[in-house]
Amino acid sequence: MSHAINPAQLALLNGQTVLPKAAQVCVSLAVMLTIWDLRHRTRKHLRKLDPVQLHDIGLTATAARREAAKPFYQP
């Protein structure tokens, strides 16, 4: 899921010294959801790697399975 941010919107946010509380909550939520999505996609791809690819990135099959089994919300 990828959405572009309008440059004018970024400029408005950048010009603020302190965001309103509601905006801070929304930004924090967006960051958290982005991290969760990245973890989910990374772990999904990790499950598909073959032993040679795992060796290339310095992981054993056991370590890869352990990491891939973690839920998206767990670091």
- The rounded mean pLDDT for the chain is 90
Q: Please report the pLDDT score of residue 18 as a whole number.
A: 84
d(CA 74, CA 36): 8
| Cβ atoms of residues 47 and 70 within 8 Å | no
Looking at per-residue confidence, does 14 or 53 come out higher? Answer: 53
First to last CA, the chain: 21
Which DSSP helix (H) or strand (E) runs through 19?
none
Say if residue 3's pLDDT is above 70.
no
d(CA 27, CA 29): 5
Q: Please report the pLDDT score of residue 29 as a whole number.
A: 95
| Cβ atoms of residues 36 and 72 within 8 Å | yes
